[in-house]
Amino acid sequence: MSQTLFLKYENDFQKLLGEFNTNLQQYPYTQSKNETLQTLKSTLQKAEKQFQCMQIELKASSTLEAELKPKLKQHGQNLQTAKDNLTSIEKSKSFEQSQPNVNFDNKRRLENNTNKIESQTNQLENCHKELFHTVDLQQTIMTDLDTQKKQLLETIDNTNDIRKIVQQTGRDVRVMQNRELFSKALKLGLIGVLTLGNIMLIYYKI
């Protein structure tokens, strides 16, 4: 039972400490610093209570001390670090309140830096968008070029086919012309032979 309770308290402690660290990181950028500071204090107090409960459960179970004591020691170090961070914030806040002008200048400087970072981030995002657009445009152009290349190759193939058809047609025409000439020559030869035969027939009759 002691180990089960220890693990429960440990889980709650880690959640609270995680919440504390998250709020701590957001503290410089929040507008309501007093409210955030009170939240940090309250969260750290709850975490400390859970740590104390872990200590009690560890003392109640001597058999688990060797196993759980290193974890408790690490949690204690984390808790102390959180306390130190909270103390540092409180001292810084007290110093800022004692020097309002300095605090105003720092706040203004922080806002200017934040605005610059946001502007640079926007510029970087715009550059990324333009880069992606350029890449898309390049891919579109390459696709169009490939399509035009294929069409050109198909046109060349069709032209070669047409050329072959024209050449074959020319050969067929020449063959037909040669046959026609041969037919005419044969007809003229027959006419000549018949004429010569008729002449000779008439000659011999006379």
- Give the domain range for residue 23: 2-121
Other Cβ atoms closer than 10 A to 68 = 19
Q: By the 8 A CB rule, do 40 and 20 touch?
A: yes
The CATH number for 9's domain is 1.20.58.400
Domain annotation covers residue 110: yes
Please give the pLDDT value at position 1.
47
Q: pLDDT tens digits for 43-83?
A: 999 999 999 998 888 887 777 777 788 888 899 999 999 99
Q: What is the DSSP string of 79-117?
A: HHHHHHHHHHHHHHHHHHHH-HHHHHHHHHHHHHHHHHH
Domain annotation covers residue 14: yes
Domain annotation covers residue 144: no
Domain annotation covers residue 69: yes
Domain annotation covers residue 46: yes
Tokens of 4: 């089960």
- pLDDT per residue as tens, the chain (206 positions): 467 888 889 899 999 999 999 988 888 888 888 888 899 999 999 999 999 998 888 887 777 777 788 888 899 999 999 999 989 888 887 766 666 555 566 777 888 888 877 777 777 777 667 776 777 777 888 887 888 888 888 877 787 778 888 788 878 878 888 888 877 878 787 887 788 877 877 777 76
Domain annotation covers residue 177: no
Structural domains in the chain (count): 1
Please give the pLDDT value at position 100.
55
pTM: 0.45
Domain annotation covers residue 65: yes
Q: Which stretches of the chain are DSSP H helices?
A: 2-26, 33-60, 65-98, 100-205
Helix (H, G, I), strand (E, B) or coil at 1: coil
Domain annotation covers residue 49: yes
